[in-house]
Homo-oligomer: A and B are copies of this chain.
Amino acid sequence: MPKTRKIKPNFKLWFEIGESYVFGEGAYKLLEQIKEKKSISAAAKATHMSYRYAWALIKEVEKHLGEPVAKTQKGGKHGGKTEITKAGLSLLENYKRLKEIMTNACKL
């Protein structure tokens, strides 16, 4: 058989605590959008998740992490603005950094 087929490395990255899955590609994309759009519903839309799923995903991450990753302001004329917490930002940035290293390694 001719060797014309191109072999491509691929990977999946996630964070765990103990043996529990805590944070992966889906939550990463969602948090990234929440950070940008300051809204869970806008972030859910941008990542093609239902609001219900996006909300459950955040709650699941928070359950394993033991603290909030996003906080929604209540009240005010434009209440409902959501901010990423320091813990959420740390997950986001560490995941992004590792993903970049791995993506670049796969291109070599």
**Footprint of B on A, CB under 8 Å?**
1-3, 5-18, 22-23, 65-67, 87, 91, 94-95, 98, 101-102, 105-106
Contact = CB atoms under 8 A, between A and B. Distances in A.
Contacts of A13: 9-11
Copies of this chain assembled into the complex: 2
A12 B9 contact: no
Contact of A105 (B5, B7, B23, B102): B102
Contact of A1 (B8, B16, B67): B67
Given A98-B105, A101-B101, A10 B5 contact: no
A15 B105 CA distance: 13
Contact of A5 (B14, B18, B94, B106): B18
